[in-house]
Amino acid sequence: MALPSYRYARVALDAELHVQVSVDHVELPPSIPGEAVVSGRIARVFRGSPSLCSTPVSFKVPVCDERDHGMPPSGILWTHPARLTKAPVIEVFLDAHDGGFRNASYDNRLLPALTDTPTRVYTEEMARAPVQHRTAGRYDPRQERREFLLYGALSILALGALCWALVRWSS
């Protein structure tokens, strides 16, 4: 089962880096589905220090063939292995990890060439859970009480109208 879109947005916004990587090599796993290892150099930095340009990076990308129908539902965003091996550029969200980098969100974008602007853009609004949209990201118990009172009052009015209709009908 896929995760709600706001969860992918939150993970991407929380990542330390948002970069495009010029791919030098892709090592596919021995069996698919699995995790491919992508190696290359940071070519564009959209979030993070610009001094990271030309830094060598290596990170994992989950790969799965679309013919793998027996895959259990999960929140993993799979990448097709053949497309990954042919992509010259990948846009990715990375975090520092054990002296290197790790793929923070797996929300990767395979690109034919470098771009001057990011192709994946997330906002705080996109990263809010649906219940947070009403309260601008803050939990407000007063809002729940107001809704409870409103629906309660409407229910009482509807019940009163039903009783009145039954009395009128029976006489």
Determine the pLDDT at residue 25.
Answer: 96
In terms of residue numbers, what domain contains 87? 5-111
* 90 occurs within a structural domain: yes
* 53 occurs within a structural domain: yes
* 124 occurs within a structural domain: no
- Whether 92 shows a pLDDT value over 70: the answer reads yes
* 133 occurs within a structural domain: no
CATH number for 90 = 2.40.50
Looking at the structure, tell me whether residues 104 and 146 fall in a common domain. Answer: no
Looking at the structure, tell me whether residues 69 and 149 fall in a common domain. Answer: no
Where residue 142 falls among pLDDT bands split at 50, 70, 90? low
- Contact residues for 165 (Cβ-Cβ < 8 A; gap 6+): none
Share of the chain above pLDDT 90, in %: 41
The per-residue DSSP string of 61-113 comes to EEE--TT-TTPPP-S---B-HHHHHH-SEEEEEEEEETTEEEESS---EEESS
Total of domains in the chain: 2
pLDDT in tens, 119-133: 988 888 888 877 554
Looking at the structure, tell me whether residues 85 and 156 fall in a common domain. Answer: no
Where residue 110 falls among pLDDT bands split at 50, 70, 90? very high
Looking at the structure, tell me whether residues 162 and 83 fall in a common domain. Answer: no
pLDDT in tens, 144-162: 666 777 777 888 888 888 8
Where residue 135 falls among pLDDT bands split at 50, 70, 90? low
pTM reported for the whole predicted model: 0.69
